[in-house]
């Protein structure tokens, strides 16, 4: 059975067991102290009965908790639970008195004059147990929240570090300058265009991660420049298609999202003119950007993890409360679906 809190069994042992003992004293008076066996029998019978009833109480509490799960709903939950528990306690205690009267499970007759006082005692204990369980549940939720906050802080710091690594990737810089050097010797006009696009890419990389959200238009401009550099380097080994509806350009997404995705695609796939890598970037209703790429097996160094940046992007979306990135993959291609946000929408 699902528990109201992780420490509910401890609450049961520390509170309910003494509760059963005092309950028997109210029902039977000093008669149950006639012998150890009599005391034990009354405790066992009442314990089984209360355990079954506690199970029903627990189910009711879980249903209310499911309906009002927020920590801020604590007093609303209590306001619903307590009146319901008081009625249930009246039925439960009356049933217990009737059971002992009819079945004579214990040679001590129940004191009928104590029925009302026993019900009041049961209601008081229900109130006490309810507040303890609520307090423990909220304490656990608070600790979980603190732990999750610390985890997200660590992930965010890791996100900034990985973002910085992406901005000043020495391999990317080396490859760009190497390609530029070759173009200067072959075609000065192309070299000038390449340098212009390279400047755009690095200008965007240096400013992009300072904002929580950027427009899709700026990300697409960056992607076009980034892919231009890649195509100049790899030639026909990369084929690109970008189709974005005009209505989508003002929508928002976390900065450098496409840089992470495109870098992951290019670095994790083998490239060849005979079997080119296909990359398709498109808008999709409602509020989704899709990035689809063909898959080409590539052997990696054991110390490298090309998906590190992609995992970091998924975590960044969670930190920003920006929805979930959906990744679908088969043997031939991988599709990423990134949530987009309208200009007026806020995250975090």
Three-state secondary structure string covering 175-191: HHHHHHHHHHHHCHHHH
Q: What's the pLDDT score for residue 215?
A: 92
Structural domain includes residue 147: yes
Q: What's the pLDDT score for residue 303?
A: 58
Q: Tell me which of 102, 132, 157 is where a domain ends.
A: 157
Q: What's the pLDDT score for residue 1?
A: 47
**120 and 215 inside one domain:** no
Q: What's the pLDDT score for residue 94?
A: 95
Q: What's the pLDDT score for residue 201?
A: 87
Query: What pTM does this model have?
Result: 0.54
SS3 (DSSP) at 168: coil
SS3 (DSSP) at 239: strand
**143 and 25 inside one domain:** yes
Structural domain includes residue 32: yes
**183 and 272 inside one domain:** yes
Question: Which residue has tokens 């450098």?
Answer: 256
**145 and 181 inside one domain:** no
Residue 179 confidence class, pLDDT cut points 50, 70, 90:
confident
Q: Tell me which of 157, 188, 207 is where a domain ends.
A: 157
Q: What's the pLDDT score for residue 209?
A: 56
**180 and 313 inside one domain:** yes
pLDDT digits (tens, 9 = 90+) for 303-322: 556 677 788 788 778 777 77
**148 and 176 inside one domain:** no
With CA atoms as reference, report the closest residue to 31 among 126, 104, 123, 90. Answer: 104
Structural domain includes residue 164: no
With CA atoms as reference, report the closest residue to 85 among 151, 150, 4. Answer: 4
Higher pLDDT, 96 or 10: 96
Higher pLDDT, 322 or 243: 243
pLDDT digits (tens, 9 = 90+) for 195-207: 898 888 888 877 6
Q: What's the pLDDT score for residue 26?
A: 95
**What number is the average pLDDT over the span 253-277?**
90
**What number is the average pLDDT over the span 261-272?**
90
Enclosing domain of residue 135: 8-157
**200 and 306 inside one domain:** yes
**149 and 216 inside one domain:** no
Residues 6+ apart with CB under 8 A from 202: 167
Q: What's the pLDDT score for residue 343?
A: 63
Mean pLDDT of the chain: 84
Structural domain includes residue 344: no
**What number is the average pLDDT over the span 137-153?**
75
Higher pLDDT, 271 or 306: 271
Structural domain includes residue 175: yes
Reading the block at residue 129, the tokens are: 């147990």
Q: Work out how many domains the chain is built from and give that number.
A: 2
Structural domain includes residue 347: no
**140 and 175 inside one domain:** no
**41 and 109 inside one domain:** yes
Q: Tell me which of 135, 157, 179 is where a domain ends.
A: 157
**28 and 149 inside one domain:** yes
Q: What is the CATH number of the domain that holds 283?
A: 3.30.565.10
Structural domain includes residue 213: yes
Structural domain includes residue 163: no
Q: What's the pLDDT score for residue 159?
A: 57
**How far apart are the C-alpha atoms of 168 and 182, rounded to whole Å?**
22
Residue 183 confidence class, pLDDT cut points 50, 70, 90:
confident
pLDDT > 80? residue 3:
no
**How far apart are the C-alpha atoms of 155 and 89, rounded to whole Å?**
49
pLDDT > 70? residue 72:
yes
**57 and 179 inside one domain:** no
pLDDT digits (tens, 9 = 90+) for 102-135: 988 888 999 989 999 999 999 999 999 889 888 8
């Amino acid at each position: 059975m699902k528990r109201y809190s992780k420490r509910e069994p401890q609450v049961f042992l520390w509170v309910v067991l003494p509760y059963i003992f005092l309950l028997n004293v109210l029902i039977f008076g000093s008669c149950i102290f006639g012998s150890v066996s009599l005391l034990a029998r009354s405790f066992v019978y009442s314990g089984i009965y209360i355990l079954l009833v506690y199970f029903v109480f627990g189910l009711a509490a879980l249903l209310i908790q499911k309906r009002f799960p927020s920590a801020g709903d604590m007093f609303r939950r209590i306001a619903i639970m307590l009146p319901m528990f008081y009625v249930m306690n009246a039925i439960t205690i009356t049933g217990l008195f009737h059971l002992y009267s009819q079945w004579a499970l214990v040679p001590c007759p129940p004191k009928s004059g104590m029925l009302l006082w026993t019900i009041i005692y049961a209601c008081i204990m229900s109130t006490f147990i309810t507040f303890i369980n609520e307090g423990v549940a909220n304490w656990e939720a608070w600790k979980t929240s603190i732990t999750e906050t610390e985890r997200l802080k660590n992930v965010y710091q890791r996100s900034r570090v990985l973002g910085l690594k992406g901005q000043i990737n020495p391999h990317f810089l080396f490859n760009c300058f190497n390609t530029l050097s070759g173009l200067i010797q072959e075609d000065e006009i192309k070299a000038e265009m390449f340098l212009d696009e390279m400047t755009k890419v690095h200008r965007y990389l240096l400013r992009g991660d300072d904002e929580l959200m950027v427009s899709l238009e700026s990300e697409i401009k960056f992607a076009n420049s980034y892919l231009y550099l890649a195509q100049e380097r790899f030639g026909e080994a990369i084929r690109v298609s970008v189709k974005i509806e005009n209505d989508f350009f003002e929508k928002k997404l976390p900065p450098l999202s496409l840089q992470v995705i495109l870098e992951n695609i290019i670095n994790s796939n083998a490239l060849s003119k005979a079997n080119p890598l296909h990359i398709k970037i498109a808008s999709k209703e409602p509020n989704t950007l899709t990035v689809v790429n063909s898959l080409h097996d590539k052997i990696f160094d054991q110390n490298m993890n090309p998906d590190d940046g992609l995992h970091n992007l998924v975590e960044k979306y969670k930190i920003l409360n920006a929805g979930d990135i959906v990744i679908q993959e088969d043997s031939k291609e991988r599709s990423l679906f990134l949530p987009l946000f309208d200009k007026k929408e806020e995250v975090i």
